[in-house]
Chain A
């Protein structure tokens, strides 16, 4: 049987056909391929632009938060005045005669619980990080590290709940007072909340110290403790400080635990056994009750703005420290 005749080229593919096609439409094989290539390239560019816009989202949200807080908070300044806002310590927006909006006591309260939390969490956290990275055996490490992760995942409202139920009676008993819902309670809870941040980041910093440092110290006759305190910790100091700053940022912005455990009485006090009211809990308590777009409502947004700026600065500083430290490591 003979094979039926099959042309190996279509008409357009013969040299004559190509010339004819070129004359009719002005396209050549090359230009067709080029057009296809162009379309694909356009697609690629569009796809890249699409991802780029998504990448910009983080900046947009950050700016958006700042702008909205500022816009919503601005009328409060007009109605209350900058000066009395930041220098008056009386926060009494529900007063029938003259409502007073002074956020000084709220700021000091926030700083007070944060400081208290750091006093507890920093030594404990750094010691625990040193323990995990330098001392603990593999098995102990494999228990401790997930434990820290789980601790980080515990919702703040559960920690606050335990503050009411466990820490509250404990403080009342130890100090002989009737009510244990105060700044000390808040500090203890915030310490627990910021511990995971401090531990895991400090541990990373300690682990990043080159092994040669440790070996050199041991070779010079230093014992393990001296090596840890005089070589490893100083080398990792910037990372440790950055971790502390991040933990501090968390403590400043933490809402539910302080809302539940600090007693919520706005007062300018520096006694850890007094009930206080932080910025976060003020917003949490009062925003649900005020009508939209009143002076009180605007004032709460100013508190939010101050809070935002405070955490922003703290995070930025920790970021700068971390960047510098990474550069040195390289």
Chain B
């Protein structure tokens, strides 16, 4: 297992290098000038020229990239042009908050999504099935933005049960986590239902029933466990959705996480901040994928890596 992890980690280096190259090139191709965003609405040309040279923006692309890469190798993602703070520090400050949000959303997705899926699979075509699939249908169709605003309107303004937005205790987490998790709940419910329906007619399920295993145990232990593989895959892929989806959710709910940091950095053409965030998020994504692979083996002993 350790060998596997080591090998996989090594193989991520070219991936991350590719990400860096693409991110760097893209940022230099898109129109918009970081210095113009720094100096604000009115500036004298001399200041702009001077700032460009101080930030090495007037150097050839290759040498700019070299500078950046050298920094990254030494673990230095540079300083934001706009705030002049170290990018890595900014990310470390915000990432736990995004993680909290993603964790909340994932917890909701796993508990609600899988439960709905399993319940739906018990009697396909029954009213629970129809109800859960309606929820899944609605959850997938509604845009995150709209769901978020509706939740605020209902639970924060009309009922006043929860605060509309902001960061704080559990009460602040509920609405954004639900917003971010909605699509996942819907998707997982459908996936689970599908996987369960495939497993349930299998021989071993019939055997379990024949030998008198109680129905909840048949579903929970025998069927669900075998249906877990596709569910884990979806969950792993969803982490990417959580990271990008958090841009919208964090904006609506004033949640001080990485998503908003990236968004503002892009708007302001804050190159070090954007590159740093992309690299950071890529690392997270790669790690999650690795974790997913390990979980495969844990969930299904038939999966073996050599």
Q: Do the two shown chains form a genuine complex with each other?
A: no
